[in-house]
Structures are given as C-alpha cells and as structure tokens.
Amino acid sequence: MKVVAVIRQVPDGESRLKIQGGRVDLSGATLILDQMDEYGVEEALRLKEKHGGEAVVVGFGPERTEEAIRTALAMGMDRGVHVVFEGYADPVTVAEALAPVLKEEAPTLVLTGGQQADWDSQALGAALAEALGVPVVAWTTALELEGETARAKHDLDEGAEWVRVRLPAVFTTQQGLNEPRYPTLPGIMKAKKKEIRKVAFQGGARVEILEESIQEKARLQKVLDGKDPVAAAEELVRLLHEEAKVI
C-alpha cells in the first residue's frame, strides 16, 4: 500500500498579514505546514503503521515549501516530492501540476486538507480526484481500509454519512479525523537525510489575483459592565434596536 499526503505551506493563522503593492506580503509571517494538511500526514502515518507500505509527502509551492515538507518527514513520512512553483496557482492548476507526479507514484490513497488556510479554497481534493479519474470523499472524519475499498465517515451540509469507496481514492481531511503528532527530535534529525525529489512546473494559472486588501471593519467596541445583568441586557437590547437597528 502507498499513501500520498499532499501538502502546502501557509501563514500561521495567528501571524499578522501585511499588504504590499496591493498583494499580501508574507515576508514577515510565520509559515507552517497547513493544519488541515497535517491531519492528512497523520492519517497517512497511521495507515502505514497499521497496514505497512510507504507514506510519501508531495508538496506544491515555492522553494520555501521545502520546510513544510521537512516537517512532514520529521513526523515520519518516508520521502518527499516537491513540485516547485513561484507565484500564485489556483487549486485546479495545482491539481494539473501534481497529476503527473501522482500518476507516477500510483498511490492507493491520496490525502489532502479540506480547506487551505491561504486561499480559503476547498477545491484541491476534488480537482486532484478528477485529474486522477478516481472518487473523492470530502471532509473525512473516519477512515478504515477493507481490501479494495475503504469505509469512511464524512460531513455533508447537514449531518454526516458513512460511505464505501473504491480505491484508489482521494480523501480530504479535517479536525476529528485524528490528533496530529509532533515531530520528535530524532524525527527531525532523520528528516534531514530523507530524500526530497524536486520537480519543476511550467504551467500558468487559470485564475489571476488582481488585488488583495485588508478591510478590517472598525468595530464600535462598546463594552458594558454586567455587574447588574438586567440593566446591561436592557441597555444592549436598546442599542441593538435604536443604534444598530438589527433587532
């Protein structure tokens, strides 16, 4: 069995974003392995521990993405492939860029995060599945292998369901699926020696970002003291009715 975890590097949600020349400037931001993808890395490791085989991490993005690939290797992935591309590529283009690598690797399962914390896109899993001609299960919270098929639980708009899916297949991952492990010191040492194969991508994106801006709404920040809860509640309701006009 072979499992591929597809990952990207994104800014940490806590780090402040800057705009430079109408685009997000990440030079000062802390960059991390996308937490949603981390669930995919963890699941790949668990599947390997249970069923044997190989766990490969495939990263897409600029040169610096190698750091995130190393993090996945330090968690325990066997080896890495890095499809190098500077600049913006929309998720459908990313799937196009990764398709040759994934076809060559021919994994039983492909795992990737349900949403990316930079473009807030949820499309990569489905686009990868289309590129490979295999099914996709989105927002997976439980996954078990059963020979040629897998049984998975995943979220819908209202509720959830259990499905049986033919392998190979793509699964998008999220909270609830597992608790990702931290890289250990020996893990980090070993990761330094693990192979990362570099692949260039020459394509162009289908979607262009023309401008980015941060428009934080100035909040009124009118905070009332709740020592007298009845008085505070009545004042709040008055403000919502008369000032904000929302009730």
Ligand X SMILES: Cc1cc2nc3c(=O)[nH]c(=O)nc-3n(C[C@H](O)[C@H](O)[C@H](O)COP(=O)(O)OP(=O)(O)OC[C@H]3O[C@@H](n4cnc5c(N)ncnc54)[C@H](O)[C@@H]3O)c2cc1C
- Where does this chain bind ligand AMP (CB under 6 A)? 144, 151, 162
CB of 187 to ligand X, least distance (A): 21
**Under 8 Å between Cβ of 7 and 71:** no
Q: Is 144 in the site for another protein (CB under 8 A)?
A: no
Residues 76-135 that bind ligand X (CB under 6 A): none
Q: Which two tokens stand for residue 177?
A: 């699926």
Q: Is 15 in the site for ligand X (CB under 6 A)?
A: no
- Please give the C-alpha separations between residue 13 and each of 35, 202, 221, in angstroms, as whole numbers: 10, 30, 23
How far is C-alpha 92 from the geometric centre of its chain's CA atoms?
15
**Under 8 Å between Cβ of 128 and 102:** yes
8-state DSSP, 184: P
Residue 156 or 247: the one with the smaller Cβ distance to ligand AMP is: 156
Q: Is 160 in the site for another protein (CB under 8 A)?
A: yes
Which of another protein, ligand X, ligand AMP, none interacts with 90 (beta carbon under 5 to 8 A by kind)? another protein
Residues 165-184 that bind another protein (CB under 8 A): 165-166, 169, 172, 174-176
**From CA 88, how far away is CA 53, in angstroms rounded?**
34
Which of ligand AMP, another protein, ligand X, none interacts with 66 (beta carbon under 5 to 8 A by kind)? none
Contact residue for another protein among 96, 101, 107, 183 (CB under 8 A): 96
Residue 5 or 152: the one with the smaller Cβ distance to ligand AMP is: 152
Identity of the amino acid at 178: N
Place of tokens 């006009």: 245
Spell out the SS3 assignment of 12-40. CCCCCCEEECCEEECCCCCEEECHHHHHH
C-beta nearest to ligand X: residue: 35
CB of 161 to ligand AMP, least distance (A): 9
**From CA 145, how far away is CA 158, in angstroms rounded?**
26
Residue 162 or 182: the one with the smaller Cβ distance to ligand AMP is: 162
Contact residue for ligand X among 23, 29, 31, 35 (CB under 6 A): 35
Segment interacting with another protein, rule: CB under 8 A, options 55-63, 71-79, 84-92, 188-196: 84-92
Residue 51 or 206: the one with the smaller Cβ distance to another protein is: 206
- Please give the C-alpha separations between residue 210 and each of 39, 96, 191, in angstroms, as whole numbers: 32, 22, 38
Q: Per-residue b/e over 14-24, b at no fewer than 16 CB within 10 Å? A: eeeeeeeeeee
Task: Report helix, strand or coil for 147.
Answer: coil
Residue 28 or 226: the one with the smaller Cβ distance to ligand X is: 226
Residues in contact with ligand X by CB under 6 A are 35, 175
